[in-house]
Amino acid sequence: MEKTEELYYTSAYISEFSAQVLTCEEKENGKYAVVLDRTAFFPEQGGQSSDIGTLMDDAGAEYSVTHVSIRRDDNGDQIISHILDKDLPVGAKVMGKIDWNHRFSNMQQHTGEHIFSGVVNSQYGYNNVGFHLSDNEVTMDYDGVLTEEDIVKIENTVNEAIWQNIEVITEFPDSEKLSSIDYRSKKELEGDVRIVTIPGYDVCACCAPHVARTGEIGILKVVSLQNYKGGVRVSILCGKRALEYLRGQHETVKKLSGMLTTSDDKVIASVERAFEDNRNLKAQLARAGEELMEYELSRIPADRTDVFVVKATDIDGNLMRKTVNSLAEVHSGVCGFFAAAGAGYKYIIASGSDNKDLKMLQGILKERLGAKGGGSSAMIQGSIADGSGLSEEILYELISAL
């Protein structure tokens, strides 16, 4: 098959081009894979998502290009396929148009990643062993640990490189020149090797489109850092994506400052005070709940054998357990606490000095009320999804079978 001319290597800024359909193959999913004699659509490879856009035939009919893939056939020839939702006749002449916003965003992210990985490699000696660039995220995996302090230093250095507006050089050096270049690469390469150089910061083998000068990246922001496979995974955003992220963060801070009636720079202190107030209120509420429960328990006759407390509101689990233990110390039979949980109930049941087998009661609750739970012969707990059939009368009826 005739080799497709890769226009994205001629210039990353070619967004429209003419071409002819070489083949059109229907896929199992009802899509069509179209091979062109030339293309500016960059296919998915090297961890980067493909370009998207449209093809238009001579009659003005438009075809959406939703994905572009690259593979080698049985003869080792490279096949670039444009995935369409309808077929194009072989030999048809088309005009291709790249979704430029999507392409340029990928260019910003990828060139930013090169500078970042170059700095990590030169200053810390770590290699980029994993890279993923999609429409939603950009992640890099490094084979060494970076701290939050390291990330701040690297981020500052990368943005200095961006603002210096350095020329980004892309080339296919001949074998003699290539042998003299010290470049980064995640794998052994064969055939023509494309080298992307950002003077002073990085030299790396890469097949993807890049910006012409670093200033076009605008800004790089690290958005997350996590330990990953003995090293770290770093997530970044560049250019417009970084602006949108920072705008969202700013809006969040503005909303919080409005809710807390404070200035943006005092939001953290206000949130800390709110958390402390909340903890104090919870403690006060817990104490009030315990006092109220103690009062209610004091009104239960001490000579009653079995006791059930049923509440139509949600009750803290610790209070439920504490109440059940207190009841079991005084009353010899079955002591249980049921509290509302959604449309049903959660429960804890303990056995008093009569040592009745509560595993049997758990089975009865499951059979009669659809309960789910577990425990021992001395204490069980669980939940009932539908509490419409639950009442104190039903509960006393159930324990009569023990």
The CA distance from 344 to 316, in Å, is 15
Higher pLDDT, 68 or 394: 68
pLDDT digits (tens, 9 = 90+) for 8-43: 999 999 999 999 999 999 988 889 999 999 999 999
Are 50 and 27 within one domain? yes
Give the CATH number of the domain where residue 365 resides.
3.10.310.40
Are 24 and 153 within one domain? no
Higher pLDDT, 198 or 265: 198
Average the pLDDT over 57-64 and give the result.
Answer: 93
In contact, 308 and 396? CB cutoff 8 Å:
yes
Give the CATH number of the domain where residue 115 resides.
3.30.980.10
Are 272 and 332 within one domain? no
Residue 285 banded pLDDT, cuts 50, 70, 90: confident
Last residue of a domain, one of 78, 98, 118: 98
Are 250 and 332 within one domain? no
Q: What is the pLDDT of residue 91?
A: 94
pLDDT over 90, % of the chain: 67
Are 126 and 204 within one domain? yes
Helix, strand or coil for residue 287? helix
Are 65 and 135 within one domain? no
Residue 189 banded pLDDT, cuts 50, 70, 90: low
Q: What is the pLDDT of residue 224?
A: 96
pLDDT exceeds cutoff 80 at 277 = yes
Residues pairing with 80 in the sheet? 70
pLDDT over 70, % of the chain: 98
Are 69 and 187 within one domain? no
Question: For helices 317-330 and 267-298, what crossing angle results, to 10°?
Answer: 20
Are 12 and 88 within one domain? yes
pLDDT digits (tens, 9 = 90+) for 106-140: 999 999 999 999 999 999 999 999 999 998 889 99
pLDDT exceeds cutoff 80 at 63 = yes
Residue 262 banded pLDDT, cuts 50, 70, 90: confident
pLDDT exceeds cutoff 80 at 78 = yes
Predicted structure pTM score: 0.77
pLDDT exceeds cutoff 70 at 187 = no
The CA distance from 376 to 354, in Å, is 15
Are 108 and 84 within one domain? no
Q: What is the pLDDT of residue 188?
A: 65
In contact, 348 and 336? CB cutoff 8 Å:
yes
Which is it for the CA torsion 242, 247, 248, 250, positive or negative?
Answer: positive
Element (DSSP H or E) covering residue 185: none
Last residue of a domain, one of 98, 115, 138: 98
Average the pLDDT over 231-248 and give the result.
Answer: 96
| b (16+ CB within 10 A) / e for 240-249 | ebbeeeeeee
Give the CATH number of the domain where residue 12 resides.
2.40.30.130
Enclosing domain of residue 340? 301-399
Are 139 and 164 within one domain? yes
Q: How many domains, the chain?
A: 4
Q: What is the pLDDT of residue 192?
A: 85
Q: What is the pLDDT of residue 57?
A: 93
Are 248 and 154 within one domain? yes
Are 269 and 284 within one domain? yes
pLDDT exceeds cutoff 70 at 282 = yes
**Strand 379-384 vs strand 344-351: parallel, antiparallel, or unpaired?**
antiparallel
Average the pLDDT over 90-95 and give the result.
Answer: 95
Q: What is the pLDDT of residue 249?
A: 92
- In this structure, the number of other CB atoms found within 10 A of the CB of residue 324 comes to 21
Higher pLDDT, 179 or 144: 144
Average the pLDDT over 381-387 and give the result.
Answer: 91
The CA distance from 192 to 260, in Å, is 60
- Residue type at 122? S
Q: What is the pLDDT of residue 219?
A: 97
pLDDT exceeds cutoff 80 at 401 = no
Last residue of a domain, one of 299, 326, 357: 299
**Strand 307-311 vs strand 334-341: parallel, antiparallel, or unpaired?**
parallel
Q: What is the pLDDT of residue 142?
A: 97
